[in-house]
Structure 1
Amino acid sequence: MARISAEQRKKIHETLLNKSKELFIQYGFSKTSIDDIVNACGIAKGSFYSYYPSKEELFYAVLRREEEIKNKIISEVMSESLPPKELLMRFFEISFKAIEENEFLQNLYQRGEYEKIVKRLPKELIDEHAKEDLESSLEFVKFLQEKGVTEEDPEIVIGLFRMIMLLPLHRQEIGEQTFLKTMKKMIESLSNDLTQHK
């Protein structure tokens, strides 16, 4: 059997990520099998394991790729020339919209599968992700502090950002009619509080 080229391998990997994402959105992690994934990709089951040792690690790769939107948002906000409060509100608004439009992240949290998947992942993957997430978040908070946005402890600021980012995933629980008004009010209040230095 002829060996596949690096280009072909890259193409298969991209198909694997795209097709599995579609299946995870449609059926959820638990109801999507490795057989479903390889059939959708048109590859042998053995080929799957040459890319990922488990369905959990494939899911994690899809998740990491979806979470790259965070770094794009940070880059976009850092390139803007706005007063402190407007800069912060812009960050929240862009982030809010990105999460609202991301079907994969919406389904992941609404189905309550995240914790279950994370428990099955190797500890080093989780630790690496946490470290990278903290580093990029700290870099952004430092940028905000240099712009005069906040004097708060960076850990508190990062915690507040995470809290706001998770709210769109609980839209139905909060209530469709009041959600947008509540979200707008929270973003405005938080932006005011973080830009009012003592």
Structure 2
Amino acid sequence: MEDKKALIYYCAKELFSAKGFKDTNISEITKKAGMAVGTFYNYYPSKEKLFMDIFLEENTKLKQTCFHSLDLNQIPLMVVKQMLILNVKGMKANPILKEWYNKSVFEKLEQVYLEENGVNSVDFLYDNFLELITQWQAQGKMRKDIDSKMIMMIFAAIINIDTHKEEIGLEYFPELLENMTELIMESLMNCSK
């Protein structure tokens, strides 16, 4: 049974990569997998759930790759800037992760996924980075008066601002993101607080 689920998963991943979420349907996925449409529903309740499972796995892989290529000997500001740059490049280079920027599609996907899986199911693997923040706090490189998990939420907010660049104004966005990141990081690195 796991072989069929894996086959559906990999066929869907190929189709989502080639055609995007909106232009891929369940019948195409099952046809590519050589099985009936009804078989799909034995493993996945919806196309959205399948896509989000693939998206989360791809996002986890990207975050791990980014993290492992960071120069952790730099000051926290430079590490975070480097992580943001690598993350944005990786998101835009991966056709599945690129759907993140298609606001109308991704809002619906996320809503359906959360309804099916619960709020705690979307964790984009920040464990390594959380450990790094805790380490920086212990070394006196980052404020200790803010919980490390709250600092992770601040970083998540910085990453998520990318989905609002049209509202902010494309002509201001790259500079705004850089200035905002720098101001936040300078505050977080102000260990006298």
Same fold at TM > 0.5: yes
After superposition, the C-alpha distances for 1:136-180 in whole angstroms (9 at most, x for unaligned) are: 553343233245432232233122111111122223333232222
Match of 2:183 among 182, 189, 196: 189
> What secondary structure sits across from 2:96 in the alignment?
helix
The residue that corresponds to 2:149 in the other structure is: 155
The alignment's TM-score, normalised by the length of structure 1, stands at: 0.73
- Structure 1 contact 56–120 (Cα < 8 Å) conserved: yes
Residues 5, 43 of structure 2: 8 Å contact kept: no
Which ranges in structure 2 are unaligned for 5 or more consecutive residues?
none
Contact 2:76 2:141 in 1 (8 A): yes
Q: Does residue 85 in structure 1 map to residue 77 in structure 2?
A: yes
**Percent identity, aligned pairs only?**
22
Instruction: Indicate how the Cα distance of structure 1 residues 99 and 16 shifts in structure 2: closer, same or farther if over 3 A, else same.
Output: closer
Q: Tell me if the contact between 1:52 and 1:58 (Cα under 8 Å) persists in the aligned partners.
A: yes
Q: Give 1:57 shift.
A: 1.8
CA distance in 1, matches of 2:65, 2:38: 35
Match for residue 13 of structure 1? 9
1:73 corresponding residue in structure 2 = 66
Instruction: Return the alpha-carbon distance in structure 2 between the equivalents of residues 191 and 48 of structure 1.
Output: 46
Unaligned 5+ runs, structure 1: none
RMSD of aligned residue pairs (Cα, Å):
3.3
Q: How many residues align?
A: 189
Structure 1 residue 64: Cα displacement: 1.1
Contact 2:17 2:95 in 1 (8 A): no
Structure 2 distance, partners of 1:20, 1:101, is 14
- Structure 1 equivalent of residue 49 of structure 2: 57
The one of 39, 43, 48 equivalent to 2:40 is 48
